[in-house]
Chain A
Amino acid sequence: MTHGSGVRRSLGVEGISRVEGEGSLRVEVRDGTVTDVALDIFEPPRFFEALLVGRHFTEAPDITARICGICPVAYQMSACAAMENACGVAVGHRVQSLRRLLYCGEWIQSHALHIYLLHAPDFLGCADAVELAERDRGAVERGLDIKRTGNLVMSTIGGRAVHPVNVRVGGFYRAPDRDAVAALREPLARARDDALATVAWVSGFEFPDVVGDYRFVALRDPGRYPIEGGRPASSEGLDLSPAEFADLAVEEHVAHSTALHARLAGRDPYLTGPLARFAHNAGVLPPVALEAATAAGLGPVCSNPFQSILVRSVELVFACDEALALVEAYEPPDPPAAEVMPRPGIGTGVTEAPRGLLLHQYEIDADGTIVKARIMPPTSQNQLTIEADLRRVVEGGLGLDDADLQWRCEQAVRNHDPCISCAAHFLDVSVVTT
């Protein structure tokens, strides 16, 4: 196959696999130049921002959890943060720590899922984890073990792994007893070892040499790696309150595109997720994670999107280590939840979902009925940057044949672990094929 000048190549991938949700991408190349790149999301809309209107503010965590089965805790935590902000309530340290532990469980299961079942097969030339297991069963079993531990943390704290039941605005319905939490120690210690082995394993992969020019946006939480709270910050020095960030991040509904596109100040695309978190916060990682990152060859900033799997592996070490520390220090919150009385107003909550920053903003009335809801998931924030990545990958990969270039494009999408089912549930849905 030749790709000389004058040849028009059109690549289409319908149904990008191994992302949570369904999307497709379209790339057009004319005369050796990329003329069009579009990541289409063909998830049907579920209209969450509409169906939340009229509901009680206490229902938001359970309802929004159903936006994403992979990161329900992220939705619950951002919803709780927003509602507590609206009602002027700050939860106590113990509730906060228990939330952080639950959230660590979600990071562990989601990152293990993405690294082992969704992303690693790309680097090893396998169609999926089953094929990978035929070659390296030990690796896949290690990934499943880590994932099981993440699920165990979630079910111990939250009642179940998918759509936990124990979370409420203000805290928890019941604080898990000390024995149940202490029982997490051994599996978490094993998972931390396995996560270190993951970093070593992944650092041996071959990474395409692609460097992105990213505007990173991630939370900063003084003295520690951000999970369940913090201030949105950009690599250009912005340092904002959640409400200021909500005002600055503007989403557009573009004709015949398939997702709302978020830009800062209505202008600048940006990237959230592991690369952004790492760039802003590597300095506050615990030693075990930082040493693993250094040993794997990561500097203070990683701008190769294909190495996101490496950063995700480092975050996996961090999440296991952090969860262990929280288990060691666990004191059951008593009462398990702060009392939250509704008052009219607007509340904003931001937390770090495994795949990036997740913003919720609600307006509620005096009796706690939701008047307005806005939810900005990571994937709609990352969409423009993912498209820019695709352009770079295609331009740098014109020498590849169609099948390989197509695979690399799919991989470029998976690099950012897009939860298309989240992003699209607010977004345009019509599939426009040209």
Chain B
Amino acid sequence: MTAPTGTTARPRPLLAVWKFASCDGCQLTLLDCEDDLLALAAAVDIAHFTEMSRSTTAGPYDVSLVEGSITTPVDAERIVEIRALSGVVVTIGACATAGGIQGLRNFAASGAYASTVYAHPEYIDALDTSTPVSAHIEVDYELHGCPIDRGQLLEVLTATLAGRTPVIPGHPVCHECKARGAVCLVVAGGGTCLGPVTRAGCGALCPAVGRGCFGCFGPADTTNTVSLASHLVTAGAAPIDVSRLFATFNAGAPAFADEAAAQGGPVPVPRTGPDGHEGER
């Protein structure tokens, strides 16, 4: 993309968007900024974003947004190269920040997943683990969510370009639930809800439709998962269901992984260490 005419002083910062193992939903959130997309494209030079453009500007880049988790030997090398090319690295979404739903493989026996899906698992060149980007390189900022929130993405981009710290809450969903006046499902006996231990940011979407939070945004800054799980079980939930609730898109986040394991399933206790590298082959 060419610079807008008339700009002579400072070149626009170069923004790159990278994809690893993921669903594309967090990148799509950038394209979903319909009102701001063209304004953003004027403020930064979108230098690498294969979902959007066939033109690529070589690095280094001022800001790299990284979607997806690290699941192959090639990707484990690629993320190191991206770090070297980038001034600021921001990871976006549950895959990049916690390993994603595909992180459930970290809890399975080595090779079990590949042989379930493939007739010829020997063709598959994948790691036994799905790990967050932060297990491989230094990350400057992590934006959580499955998917991320559009407003939060714009806040992180704006703050990063302005050189300030993004204003993103670390408190739990309960705050947003109260703020929008939704009925508390845990108190009202409406079933299981991870709102008390899940990071805010979605706007308490699920309680607003009468559904318990299922943890898309991962653990809040401070959590008491033990207390919540015991409350849910006391209130009648089966431990396996509580465990499943903790073991979805942020199954690799330590607070959730530990509680899923404490409730006995749905998968065996983690086999790998916290850095997740043991499964590499």
Contacts and interface: CB of A to CB of B under 8 A. Distances in A.
A190 interface: no
Interface string B15-46: 00001111111111101101101100100001
Nearest to A430: B125
Interface in B31-76: 31-32, 34-35, 37-38, 41, 46, 50-55, 68, 71-72, 74-75
A266 to B, nearest CB: 13
A53 B34 contact: no
B101 A51 contact: yes
Given A50-B108, A69-B147, A163-B216, A144 B116 contact: no
B214 interface: yes
A426 interface: yes
Interface stretch (A80-88, A123-131, A268-276, A357-365): A123-131
B267 interface: yes
A302 B173 CA distance: 50
Nearest to B21: A44
B123 A51 contact: no
Interface residues of A, number: 72
B114 interface: yes
Interface residues of B, number: 69
Given A45-B71, A51-B113, A62-B248, A173 B123 contact: no
Interface string B85-115: 0000000000000001110110010001110
A67 interface: yes
B24 A47 contact: no
A72 B10 CA distance: 41
A160 to B, nearest CB: 6
27 contacts: A17-B54, A20-B24, A43-B21, A50-B112, A50-B113, A50-B116, A51-B102, A59-B244, A70-B28, A113-B31, A129-B52, A130-B52, A134-B2, A137-B38, A144-B37, A144-B38, A159-B205, A162-B28, A163-B147, A165-B209, A173-B210, A173-B211, A252-B119, A253-B119, A407-B54, A421-B22, A430-B123
Interface of B: 1-2, 19-29, 31-32, 34-35, 37-38, 41, 46, 50-55, 68, 71-72, 74-75, 100-102, 104-105, 108, 112-114, 116-120, 123-126, 130, 146-147, 202, 205-206, 208-211, 214, 216, 241, 244, 248-249, 265-267
